[in-house]
Structure 1
Amino acid sequence: MTTIITGTTNKPMAAEQLRLFFKNHPDYSGYLYIGYPIIGTVNGPYPIDALWVSSEKGMVIFNLVEGKDLSDYQDLQDDSVNKIEAKLEGYRQLMDRRKLCVKVSAVTYPATVAHMPTPDVNYPVCDDSNLEEVLNPISWSTPAYYDSLLSVLQSISTIRKGKKKREILNSRSRGAKLRSIEDSIANLDNRQSHAVIETVDGVQRIRGLAGSGKTIVLALKAAYLHAQHPDWKIAVTFNTRSLKGQFRQLINTFYIEHTNEEPDWDNLHVIHAWGAPGGGERNGMYYTFCSLNNTAYRDYLAARNLFGSADPFGGACNKALEEAKEREIKQTYDAILVDEAQDFSPGFLLLCYEMLKEPKRLVYAYDELQNLRSISLPAPEAIFGTGPDGTPRVKFTVDTDGMPQQDIILEKCYRNSRPALVTAHALGFGIYHKPPADKESGLVQMFEQSSLWTDIGYEVESGELADGQHVVLERTASSSPKFLENHSDKGDLILFKSFASQGEQDKWVAEQIKTNLSTDELRPDDIIVINPNPLTTRELVAPIRKKLYEEGIASHTAGVDTAPDVFFADNNDSVAFTGIYRAKGNEAAMVYVINAQDCFESSFEMSKVRNQLFIAITRSKAWVRVLGVGRKMEGLIAEYNQVKDYRYTLDFVYPTKVQRDHMNIVNRDMSEAKKRKVKNFADIITELDNGQIYLEDLGEEQIEKLRKLLDRHRGDRNADS
């Protein structure tokens, strides 16, 4: 059977006809690519209409014809074969000295032609009636090269390698280990390659763990669409401003690799989600929408004052949509790709959707666990609303063989080792968090849908993944590659350490960074120091930076000493310090998480601080150090010791619906105003208890309402137990 990967094409009728042919002929095996690959030539990009790769037939190029003109079909076959062969000859694994060991054939495949040309065995023209007659005689004398050929085609890009060649003197150093890791993940895997190519004429969702390659896939997808449709207006947007440079570099590298040209940045926009007046680098999707539709633009302060601090951007987007709908919304883009969608409210995704021309190609990528708003994204039916007839404007259909997937899950993690990733999940969810005295579970949060655990690469080792049931979850080599953890001992991959004072912590971090650079053969851009609380970062990283300065080691605080769109220094010779928000979307070999005690517990927003710790740990692609001070840090270490005792598995009782709802209330993100109200109520209880005020002061009506609320709450809890 042939696996069909459907990309974007400007010859849809012939492409669909060819897809159906292979679907209806399961005796043919291999891979059929529609709209891929794109060959870079001296004259610019040369898209291949369709390509079939078979262990028996080799490579068959299909030149699709949508109209009735076949006047130059022989020249087109020659061109496509010559360009493919020239491309393949650049891969040593496909060559026997000077001979290409891949059989390359070409077929012209028209959707409809009034008169077929005179048959020519050297230049076949086929429709469904005679395609089998042409394909069957083709044979490949060296099928041993099939796996190598597939690898070349599916790799798409080698952009994952380090920024520059590593100079290694010690084969056992961290730098040597890191170079081996980077070489192992240089190419995209099969699933990621499909996600880049497969193109939906509508909404497409890409989900995956941190380190599963979502940002890379999104960037390459933008470059792929731009190469296939250079006249399209395409936008790539995101929440973390420091991602802008990364996106431009990824897109530029892929585009040049496949087309030998620079992208046309007038048609391919890499812009922040919010934006501001001033044009150029200050532009953003929301600001563009307001400008085009003549609606009021609100900056952060104005939006917060008007809509509150919980979700000011979501409020601003919803208001802009409301105002624009009074007129006719200007549809500007042919495709929009949104990264970090978990950090946006549905209003921003709907705003992007409304900016699109039909068929509204919107691709959004997200990771539930990197959500810093503590609110999960709703289903697409809820995000994009309903049409005039009441039916959902967007509805994901069941996957069909040969059709591009609307909902893609990247379950394999290529950044974090299995021990680091499981530890991050255990701490993020509070799997081994000691419960309060009156509680059965210390869980902080949990997926509403238990199946998400298997979607992100976990398997059930024992028990049952269902409400109220005990379950043990583990990651396997298929979802967490062994090479990510085999290079170092587990105690070196991830280390938790407590200090008597912050000064001791800061001294230790500075000494370790000095060793990383002087002995371990790491570069400054291999290191990130993360302070989870963004409000205290500038102040708390200063002592460590001072110690590094005294040692002659350059450092910077991302977004403070650099432009807002820059994370690593331009020359890569400076160690990056950052708060959690700018850390998102970035990675480094060695990650130091300082002041982690702030993530152990919180009077409010427990899930938020645990998510901050999860994000910080998952920035590491080799080694991570989780550091802190005092009793709370000891509590985190106790939880990590449980993770080790349970062999880096997740062992817990899955909470029921009522328990999950209770978690969401207790640990939810709260505005400052709501925090003050809760604190005021707590003060009233204290004053009642110590006799400063009396029950009679509250009034009988208020006391009775409070009694009924408490009784109802007890009843709900008892019903669940």
Structure 2
Amino acid sequence: MLEVIWGTSQDKPISSRLLAEDLAKDPAIDGYLYLGYPVIGTPTGPLKLDGLLVSPKLGLVAFDLVEGTDIGEFKPRQDEIASMLEVRLKPHPGLKSGRQLKFDIHVVTYCPAKPLHPDSVDPYYIASRAELLDVVNSFAWTEGEPVYKMLVGAIQVVTSIRAGKQKREPQKPDSRGAKLKRVEDSIANLDQHQSQAVIETVEGVQRIRGLAGSGKTIVLALKVAYLHAQNPTWRIGVTFNTRSLKEQFRRLINSFTIEQTGAEPDWDCIDIINAWGGPGDKERDGVYHKFCRANQIAYYDFGAAKNKFGDGKEFQGACADALATVKDPVDLYDMILIDEAQDLPIEFLRLCFASLPPPRRLVYAYDELQSLTGTSVPPAEELFGVAPDGTPVVRLNQEDGGPRQDIILEKCYRNSGPLLATAHALGFGIYRDKGLVQIFDDDNLWTDVGYSVEEGSLEPGSAVTLARTFQTSPEFLQSHSDLDDLIQFHKFASSAEQAEWLVQAIKKDILEQELRPEDIVVINPNPITTKREVALPRQMLFSSGINSELAGVSTAADVFSKAGAVTFTGVFRAKGNEAGMVYIMNAQDGASGWDKTATALGRNRLFTAITRSKAWVRVLGIGPNMDVLIKEWVQLYKNDYKLKFIYPTDVEKKELRVINKMVGGKGKARRKSVRQQREQLLQAVQRGEVDADQLILELEALKNSGRSK
């Protein structure tokens, strides 16, 4: 099957779409067709490839697209494409034999507006719509699957993006440092599905959802770099709720832009900017503050907003007031990307939307299980309002074969299956004595985010068993250590006892297990008590000669961790960051609340804290609420880290916190599922796996039996 990844192709939209349609007519052509990707740095500036086919049958075929009928000087264009692709691919040892690539690079000038091209001569191929399939089918790939996989990885141009900043050189082969190095080496590359999310570009709103560790932040950062390389004059804003993400965004955008174009990005065109912001230098600025300044309206800082709009409604009220005051907002950017949308008020998302010129290019990413504020992101159809005729301004139901408007990242690149199942079991309250505290609105989201239904069904009142698979939680994330070492729960009689155990464990990690101090993060779920609670263990570590930092307090506000220091943090600043070893102290604070909403909020903090880990987690706590968490985890452990529960009825769901709400409820979900099954069936017929004639007979029989009832 041919999978099309839609990059930016605004300058050649017709020929791009016709190329995708014409190649799809041959079911034997499989692989990936990239449109408007990659961008390659050349001495004269970035070169954007119009189209690139990577196929296990046909090999590597680049397309020079012609939108009208004037082909022009196509030979120099083809020569440059072939030369630059060769330069891009030769640094990959597995693709070379001596000094030459192991395969040919084919280039085709595709001009669908002209009927015939008799002047097509090897190696300068030209094709009309009628000739395209004959031309591409004259090529063949002879190098086998291993080289093909290396070629796909090289084309994605994302190697080493995730790699650590410092080279890790452990001396003990079985130390935690050595194991962490192997894990980091394995997750250094994006897989094909995630790279599609980077490249696919929508002229309008795009939503990206995914589990913690699925790479939403990295996808957004690389998307910025890709779009900046394609459109260097665009003003692009990147905003978020956690200030410590700023340096991570800057590093990723810088690295990927250099890989794409050979040059650093133009930082005058890219703002990595806070959501709220305030007066002062550029580092203090924010989208809301910039909106107020550009539109010459009153700006509210936190204190003024609290006085006017009330406790807990400061940012929501400030953004709502700004939107109500300004009827025709000034355009702030050509595109805005929002990370951690679940922790930002919907009024802020609307403010970003209103600050963009048509077609309002807005990308927002979120995972509601990581919501630390209790807010819920409504469906896009509700979020951005309705037009004068009553229809939604935004619909995320793209079904015409174009770029995806709603992307779900199902694979987890950070957390092992047992670790993620623990986070979900506690987050949802799967094994809680008093029952669930929250649930997905769309039942199919369980499978969308990478769970398989082992027993039962996702139907109201049905017993169901859900499990992670190695396809969505790669095996290497857990095989590096014994299962009992991946995650542990420990209860203590007092804070002093908890601190003593924590400090001794950290000392062992560093002095015996070859973890670097910066590999270790200690998270306190309650942000109000963090500064007080971490004081004792930090003092004890200092007395032992181990440095530590309290993120955002002893470090700059935009810095999460420092080399040579253990990071202590509240859960808010931990968002979007990761570490090899995560210690959660005072986990009992996340076990309960005065009602189900508060309980869900506390459990989301635990979910977020657990999912910061790339390898190991230690959950520490005090008192009876810690017994509650341990009891739930033991039940999960006995069930082999599978989620076993009775799926709630619609009536029961009304008593729960419902997340990832959708328009149309189950009816829409079922229609979507039916459409997906229909597409899979049609593809099976095309591949010859299903007999179409026999299927028609069976459908007719089913139809007739229905009439006779």
Deviation, 1:104, is 0.5
Deviation, 1:142, is 3.1
Q: Deviations over 1:308-366 (max 9, x none)?
A: 223321221111111111xx211232211111011122211111111112111111111
Note closer, same or farther for the CA distance 1:79–1:515 as it changes in structure 2 (3 Å cut).
same
1:538 to 531, 550, 575: 531
- Is the 1:237–1:339 contact (alpha carbons within 8 Å) kept by the matching residues of 2? yes
- Is the 2:96–2:102 contact (alpha carbons within 8 Å) kept by the matching residues of 1? yes
- Is the 1:157–1:254 contact (alpha carbons within 8 Å) kept by the matching residues of 2? no
2:142 and 2:428 map into 1 onto residues whose CA distance is 55
Find the residue that maps to 1:256 and give its secondary structure: helix
Residue pairs, 1:356-505, within 5 angstroms: 356-401=356-401, 403-435=402-434, 442-505=435-498
The answer to whether residue 572 in structure 2 is matched with residue 581 in structure 1 is yes
Map of 2:291 onto structure 1: 289
Map of 2:138 onto structure 1: 137
1:124 and 1:90 map into 2 onto residues whose CA distance is 27
Residue pairs, 1:243-254, within 5 angstroms: 243-254=245-256
Deviation, 1:68, is 5.2
1:130 and 1:421 map into 2 onto residues whose CA distance is 50
Q: Deviations over 1:574-604 (max 9, x none)?
A: 1110011101111100001001111222235
- Is the 1:155–1:190 contact (alpha carbons within 8 Å) kept by the matching residues of 2? no
Aligned partner of 1:225: which letter? Answer: L
- Is the 2:23–2:133 contact (alpha carbons within 8 Å) kept by the matching residues of 1? no
Identical residues among aligned pairs (%):
52
Q: How many residues align?
A: 654
The answer to whether residue 613 in structure 2 is matched with residue 591 in structure 1 is no
2:70 and 2:271 map into 1 onto residues whose CA distance is 36
Map of 1:704 onto structure 2: none
Gaps of 5+ in 2: 659-709
Map of 2:302 onto structure 1: 300
Map of 1:709 onto structure 2: none
Deviation, 1:63, is 1.3
Deviation, 1:136, is 3.2
- Is the 1:155–1:193 contact (alpha carbons within 8 Å) kept by the matching residues of 2? no
Map of 2:60 onto structure 1: 59
Aligned partner of 2:221: which letter? Answer: A
2:646 and 2:317 map into 1 onto residues whose CA distance is 37
1:424 and 1:242 map into 2 onto residues whose CA distance is 23
2:319 and 2:116 map into 1 onto residues whose CA distance is 55
Find the residue that maps to 1:52 and give its secondary structure: strand
TM-score (normalizing by structure 1): 0.88
Deviation, 1:29, is 2.6
Residue pairs, 1:221-370, within 5 angstroms: 221-325=223-327, 328-370=328-370
- Is the 1:526–1:588 contact (alpha carbons within 8 Å) kept by the matching residues of 2? yes
2:455 and 2:464 map into 1 onto residues whose CA distance is 6
2:535 and 2:566 map into 1 onto residues whose CA distance is 13
Map of 1:548 onto structure 2: 541
1:30 and 1:649 map into 2 onto residues whose CA distance is 34
Deviation, 1:28, is 2.6
Note closer, same or farther for the CA distance 1:455–1:531 as it changes in structure 2 (3 Å cut).
same
1:503 and 1:43 map into 2 onto residues whose CA distance is 64
Map of 1:646 onto structure 2: 639
- Is the 1:42–1:260 contact (alpha carbons within 8 Å) kept by the matching residues of 2? no
- Is the 1:44–1:261 contact (alpha carbons within 8 Å) kept by the matching residues of 2? no
Question: Does 306-315 or 510-519 show the bigger shift?
Answer: 306-315
- Is the 1:68–1:114 contact (alpha carbons within 8 Å) kept by the matching residues of 2? no
Aligned partner of 2:413: which letter? Answer: Y
Map of 2:123 onto structure 1: 122
Gaps of 5+ in 1: 436-441, 666-721
Q: Deviations over 1:135-173 (max 9, x none)?
A: 233334434532322232246332111111101100010
Question: Does 424-433 or 150-159 show the bigger shift?
Answer: 150-159
Question: Does 348-357 or 654-663 show the bigger shift?
Answer: 654-663
2:408 and 2:115 map into 1 onto residues whose CA distance is 44
Runs of 4 or more, structure 1, over 6 Å off, are 113-117
1:116 and 1:348 map into 2 onto residues whose CA distance is 53
Map of 1:717 onto structure 2: none
Aligned partner of 1:452: which letter? Answer: L
Find the residue that maps to 1:125 and give its secondary structure: strand
The answer to whether residue 94 in structure 2 is matched with residue 101 in structure 1 is no
Aligned partner of 2:557: which letter? Answer: P
Residue pairs, 1:136-155, within 5 angstroms: 136-144=137-145, 145-154=147-156
- Is the 1:495–1:624 contact (alpha carbons within 8 Å) kept by the matching residues of 2? yes
Question: Does 229-238 or 103-112 show the bigger shift?
Answer: 103-112
Find the residue that maps to 2:358 and give its secondary structure: strand
1:453 and 1:143 map into 2 onto residues whose CA distance is 36
1:603 and 1:613 map into 2 onto residues whose CA distance is 17
Aligned partner of 1:588: which letter? Answer: A
Question: Does 481-490 or 597-606 show the bigger shift?
Answer: 597-606
Question: Does 530-539 or 645-654 show the bigger shift?
Answer: 645-654
Q: Deviations over 1:272-327 (max 9, x none)?
A: 111111131011111111111122211122222222223321221111111111xx
Residue pairs, 1:165-204, within 5 angstroms: 165-204=167-206
Question: Does 136-145 or 12-21 show the bigger shift?
Answer: 136-145
- Is the 1:155–1:188 contact (alpha carbons within 8 Å) kept by the matching residues of 2? no
Question: Does 345-354 or 192-201 show the bigger shift?
Answer: 345-354
Deviation, 1:115, is 10
Aligned partner of 2:350: which letter? Answer: L
Question: Does 9-18 or 584-593 show the bigger shift?
Answer: 9-18
Map of 1:517 onto structure 2: 510
- Is the 1:57–1:103 contact (alpha carbons within 8 Å) kept by the matching residues of 2? no
